[in-house]
């Protein structure tokens, strides 16, 4: 399997820091944020990784990470020219992912303590053309995409509601996804949202509609480090997790 880390985006909630550098390069403990996703993939046996980055910070990424050899991986870079959404960024992995190949997608600001290996191994046993997302119980699900489970088969997600006012569950969809190359065809079937982006929730809902979207639940610490508070908490939590 291969890995894809989506690390573009403007990080507006972290202004003015993100006027200086890309959000995913901000320090979390001793290392830039993006290093933790790289390490989690490596520990699960995934060493061939694509980084989708913005052109404004491309030099910073390559200066620090280089080929990835120092981190035990092989890195490929692609530039997302515009902030056109997560699904648009994911589409740039077409060509990096071989026909029929499976891969793991991480949003670069998703930080977590858990080993991905058991979830990856379970996904490998799913039929081709299906997808998996990882969930996490949260206190305020209104801030996230919220899964609604299939009434006939509770191992599947029926649909995902994006930032609902009245969530039907207390789970959120984290930025950890698993697909095969069929996802690129799915992306081709979604339209841009009102904010002009190709939304990953719309892609996942196409899988859900076809009853092809499974899930697992993270049991350890997880955070989307998109605010100053969560960035500070993540730095404290992860300060000793990389050598």
CA separation for the pair 153, 212 (Å, rounded): 11
pLDDT mean over 21-47 = 92
Q: How confident is the model at residue 7 (pLDDT cuts 50, 70, 90)?
A: very high
Q: Report H helices in 81-172.
A: 86-91, 117-124
- DSSP, residue by residue, 61-105: HHHHHTTSGGGTSEEEEEEE-S---HHHHHHTTBTTBPTT-EEEE
- Cβ atoms of residues 187 and 198 within 8 Å: yes
Q: Which two tokens stand for residue 233?
A: 């908490």
Q: How confident is the model at residue 11 (pLDDT cuts 50, 70, 90)?
A: low
pTM given for the model: 0.94
Q: How confident is the model at residue 220 (pLDDT cuts 50, 70, 90)?
A: very high
- How many residues are listed for the chain in this entry? 243
pLDDT at 55: 86
What totals of helices (H) and strands (E) does the chain contain, helices first?
8, 13
Q: Which two tokens stand for residue 174?
A: 């984290």
Among 122, 117, 99, 112, which Cα is nearest to 46's? 117
Q: Which two tokens stand for residue 210?
A: 């076809």
Structure letter (DSSP) for residue 168: S
pLDDT in tens, 137-195: 999 999 899 999 999 999 999 999 999 999 999 999 999 999 999 999 999 999 999 88
pLDDT in tens, 13-24: 676 766 777 888
Q: Is the pLDDT of residue 240 over 80?
A: no
Q: Looking at 19-33, 62-76, 135-149, 214-228, which range is the least confident one?
A: 19-33
CA separation for the pair 131, 55 (Å, rounded): 29
Helix pair 34-43, 58-65: axis angle to 10 deg = 50
CA separation for the pair 189, 166 (Å, rounded): 28
Collapse the DSSP code of 241 into the 3-class scheme (helix H, G, I; strand E, B; otherwise coil) and give the result.
coil
Q: Which two tokens stand for residue 10?
A: 């403007």
CA separation for the pair 94, 51 (Å, rounded): 13
């Amino acid at each position: 399997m291969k890995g894809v880390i989506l690390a573009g985006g403007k990080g507006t909630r972290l202004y003015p820091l993100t006027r200086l550098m890309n959000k995913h390069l901000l320090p979390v403990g001793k290392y830039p944020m993006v290093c933790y996703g790289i390490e989690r993939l490596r520990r699960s046996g995934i060493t061939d990784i694509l980084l989708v980055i913005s052109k404004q910070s491309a030099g910073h990424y390559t200066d620090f990470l280089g080929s990835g050899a120092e981190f035990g991986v092989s890195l490929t870079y692609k530039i997302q020219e515009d902030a056109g959404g997560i699904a648009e960024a994911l589409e740039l992995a077409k060509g990096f992912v071989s026909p029929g190949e499976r891969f793991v997608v991480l949003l670069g600001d998703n930080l977590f303590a858990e080993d991905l290996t058991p979830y990856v191994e379970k996904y490998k046993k799913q039929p081709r053309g299906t997808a998996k997302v990882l969930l996490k119980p949260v206190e305020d699900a209104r801030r996230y995409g919220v899964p609604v489970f299939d009434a006939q088969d509770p191992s599947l997600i029926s649909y995902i509601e994006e930032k609902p006012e009245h969530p039907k569950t207390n789970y959120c969809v984290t930025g950890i996804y698993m697909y095969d190359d069929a996802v690129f065809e799915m992306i081709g079937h979604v339209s841009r949202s009102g904010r002009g982006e190709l939304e990953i929730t719309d892609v996942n809902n196409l899988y859900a509609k076809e009853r092809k979207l499974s899930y697992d639940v993270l049991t350890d610490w997880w955070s989307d480090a998109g605010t100053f508070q969560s960035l500070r908490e993540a730095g404290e939590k992860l300060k000793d997790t990389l050598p």
